[in-house]
Amino acid sequence: MNITLEQAEKAITAAKKKAVAIDTKMNIAIVDAGANLVAFARMDGAWLGSLDISIKKAKTARFFDMNTGVVGELSQPGGSLYNIEHSNNGLITFPGGIPIKNSKDEIIGAIGVSGSAVENDHAVAEAGASSI
């Protein structure tokens, strides 16, 4: 099962609403179950350097079916996934990427958000993911 464009747009709308509420500008990427980009939004004035990061966060969340912050915890020196960020043409292992599930609790894609402090990135991603 894949996320639909309609669902991806709904997630982006919810994420943008949260970004506005916390007064930040974000890049927001949605990938499907195969980690292919379905939808993307760059809010006016969002950092250009965060564009690629948001897409990689979404892909990382889908590749490993967990929040990117969790991947980051596991990839610290001595961790079970140490150096994983060098695989798959580069992963992002800090907060802001979250798998998206449907009503049957199946992963249908992921959202990646970048443009602020990682706590804000995660909060905006969570708003988008929970809207589905």
The CATH number that applies at residue 36 is 3.30.450.150
Considering the domain boundaries, does residue 46 fall inside one? yes
pLDDT digits (tens, 9 = 90+) for 23-36: 999 999 999 999 99
Could you tell me which of 102, 103, 89 has the C-alpha nearest to residue 60? 89
What's the pLDDT score for residue 125?
98
Query: What value does the mean pLDDT take over residues 29-46?
Result: 98
Considering the domain boundaries, does residue 110 fall inside one? no
| Residue 47 predicted with pLDDT over 90 | yes
Which residue range is the domain that position 30 belongs to? 5-103+117-130
Considering the domain boundaries, does residue 108 fall inside one? no
Could you tell me which of 60, 112, 113, 121 has the C-alpha nearest to residue 86? 60
User: What letter represents residue 123's amino acid?
Assistant: A
What's the pLDDT score for residue 83?
92
Could you tell me which of 38, 29, 39, 36 has the C-alpha nearest to residue 68? 29
Considering the domain boundaries, does residue 10 fall inside one? yes
Considering the domain boundaries, does residue 40 fall inside one? yes
Burial class of residue 18, CB neighbours in 10 A (0-12, 13-18, 19+): buried
| Residue 1 predicted with pLDDT over 90 | no
Considering the domain boundaries, does residue 111 fall inside one? no
* Residues 30/8, Cβ–Cβ less than 8 Å: yes
Considering the domain boundaries, does residue 112 fall inside one? no
The pTM of the full predicted model, rounded to 2 decimals, is 0.95
What's the pLDDT score for residue 78?
93
Considering the domain boundaries, does residue 26 fall inside one? yes
Q: Domain total for the chain?
A: 1
- As a whole-number percent, the residues of the chain with pLDDT over 70 amount to 100
